Amino acid sequence: MNTVRIADYTLISQDCHEDGSGFAGFRRHPDVTGLGWPDDVLEQWLYDHAGNEAFLLDYADVDLAQITWEVEAASTDLLVETPTGDSDRDCIDEFAANPDHWIGVRHKGVHRGVALCWETHGTWKRWPVLIERSLLTPSAPGLQVVEGRTRIGILKGRHRQGDFVSAQHLVWVGRPRR
């Protein structure tokens, strides 16, 4: 497969947003299906953010065709230390400063049940998207939050406040194809 960059999906995403075909149209596009990514990752990263300037800067050089995805359980201790891209590096701490606010504003539509998930299970409703940092810089260790920065911020803030959080959380993790 040829090298594939996030910018390759900007117009496809924009067209699907504008023409009303939405995510269903996006995921059916031949350039999108060729990636073989899970729908949840496609939607959260490429459909929602292919035109996001910060994402275009932070992930411009990542060859998306070289990423394989798995659902993994990650510890709270690991996740509260996991950074996001340089363009939005402070946003996780901004969300962590007032986690109750960010939970409270997520109560309609697809966010219905977010507060209940935190209250009952001590975790999020939808799995965040992380990548192995070696995809960005070959010698970089650990993971980086691509999408789900609000969720990670809420976790970090709740953990710091001593609120109930689960010890483990499900996340999508992208790793280099071997």
Name the one residue in this structure whose structure tokens are 């040829």. 2
DSSP string, 37-83: --HHHIIIIIIHHTT-HHHHHHTTT--GGGEEEEEEEEEHHHHTT--
What's the rounded Cα separation, in Å, for the pair 54 and 103?
24
pLDDT (tens, 9 = 90+) of the chain, 178 residues, equals 689 999 999 999 999 999 999 999 999 999 999 999 999 999 999 999 999 999 999 999 999 999 999 999 999 999 999 999 999 999 999 999 999 999 999 889 889 999 999 999 999 999 999 999 999 988 889 999 999 999 999 999 999 999 999 999 999 999 999 8
